[in-house]
């Protein structure tokens, strides 16, 4: 088994692979990330063949680890890096119990965090990536971690998943080619390329921030925006959390505190530039 150990924010991974190439690609993608605290990785993710003979013959990659789901479809070996990322995501989604998980991106400026919840296709990752290159610090693009006691957002800056047209957009924006992973064609999510967060995001991965604004993006529509009431915000936050129920009352209290104290809105946008501009406008109005 080929292995890589790394720390991203408060989570330390041991990633295992039956093949060498996905681990090599993962190591390059996460260059500069710290090792686990005290050398102890506490979360295990791994990729391997679903059947032993699938290791080399028409190789198939299944995702597994401490936690796994029964119906995941195996992937091709050329998408091994994506599979490794998905295996890591699965451990967090199914196993995290210290922090409330929101399926969201987040960026920080002046100690305040703007949270962008959304499923795949909402464009949150691309918006966060762009904001992260224009004066904001990227905290997360997939999972936002909310401290159950303090209510602060803890950074979890994993590699950003760029899909389809967002790839070219970020390639033209970012001069350093070593920040990109390999171009992956025909993945289950279309064309995909991973982008490593910039040096500032990595260096400050242990600095939390106070959630100050929650914005729900919808990509592909004419510009429009609307407020989100506290009750709707509560509901949408719980819907977008994989561990809300498992956290019991602590999850309830943390979500309620966000719903009661953080202003929220939704907005639609036709392209990234407009999306970024709308976010900046909301922030200006909120005094951020």
Of the candidate residues 39, 70, 135, 287, the single one contacting another protein (CB under 8 A): 39
Residue 1 interacts with another protein (CB under 8 A): yes or no: yes
Between 46 and 137, CB nearer to another protein = 46
* The binder of another protein chosen from 36, 50, 74, 263 (CB under 8 A): 36
Q: Does 37 bind another protein (CB under 8 A)?
A: yes
Does an H or E element contain 27, and which?
helix 20-29
- Angle of CA points 32, 38, 39, to nearest 5°: 60
Which residues 56-115 are close enough to bind another protein by CB under 8 A? 66-67, 95-98
Q: Which is nearer to another protein, 185 or 256 (CB)?
A: 256
Mark the segment that binds another protein (CB under 8 A) among 42-50, 111-119, 166-174, 181-189.
Answer: 42-50
- Cβ atoms of 241 and 104 within 8 Å: the answer is no
Decide if residue 247 touches another protein (CB under 8 A): yes
Minimum distance between the CB of residue 77 and another protein, rounded to whole angstroms? 19
The answer to the question of residue 38 lying near another protein (CB under 8 A) is: yes
* Sequence-ordered list of residues with C-beta below 8 angstroms from that of 71, at least 6 positions apart, any chain: none
Q: How far is the CB of 74 from another protein (least distance, A)?
A: 16
State the DSSP H helix or E strand holding residue 62, giving kind and residue range, or none if neither.
Answer: strand 60-65
Which residues contact residue 24 at a Cβ distance below 8 angstroms, ignoring those fewer than 6 apart? Answer: none
In three-state secondary structure terms, 4 is: strand
Adjacent-strand bridge partners of 137: 108
- Distance, in Å, from the CA atom of 45 to the CA atom of 86, rounded to the nearest integer, reads 9
Place of tokens 């195996």: 74
Binding site for another protein (CB under 8 A): 1, 10, 12, 14, 16, 36-44, 46, 66-67, 95-98, 229-231, 234-235, 238, 245-249, 252-253, 256, 259-260
């Amino acid at each position: 088994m080929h292995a890589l150990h790394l720390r991203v924010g408060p989570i330390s991974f041991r990633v295992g692979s039956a093949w060498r190439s996905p681990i090599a690609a993962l190591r390059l993608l996460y260059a500069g990330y710290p090792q686990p605290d005290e050398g102890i990785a506490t979360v295990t993710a791994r990729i391997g063949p679903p059947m032993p003979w699938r290791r080399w013959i028409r190789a198939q990659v299944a995702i597994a680890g401490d936690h796994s789901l029964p119906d995941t479809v195996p992937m091709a070996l050329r998408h091994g890096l994506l599979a490794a990322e998905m295996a890591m995501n699965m451990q967090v989604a199914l196993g995290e119990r210290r922090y409330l998980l929101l399926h969201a991106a987040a960026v920080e400026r002046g100690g305040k965090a703007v949270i962008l919840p959304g499923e795949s296709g909402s464009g949150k990752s691309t918006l966060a990536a762009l904001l992260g290159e224009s004066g904001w610090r990227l905290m997360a693009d997939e999972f936002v971690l909310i401290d159950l006691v303090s209510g602060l957002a803890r950074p979890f800056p994993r590699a950003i998943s760029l899909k389809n047209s967002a790839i070219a957009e970020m390639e033209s924006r970012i001069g350093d080619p070593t920040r990109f992973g390999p171009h992956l064609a025909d993945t289950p999510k279309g064309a995909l390329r991973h982008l490593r967060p910039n040096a500032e995001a990595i260096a400050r991965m242990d600095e939390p921030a106070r959630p100050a604004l929650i914005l729900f993006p919808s990509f592909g529509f004419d510009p429009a925006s609307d407020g989100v009431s506290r009750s709707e915000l509560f509901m949408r936050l719980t819907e977008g959390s994989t561990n809300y129920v498992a956290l019991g009352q602590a999850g309830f209290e943390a979500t309620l505190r966000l719903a009661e104290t953080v202003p929220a809105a939704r907005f639609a946008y036709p392209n990234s530039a407009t999306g970024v501009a709308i976010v900046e406008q909301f922030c200006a109005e909120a005094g951020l």
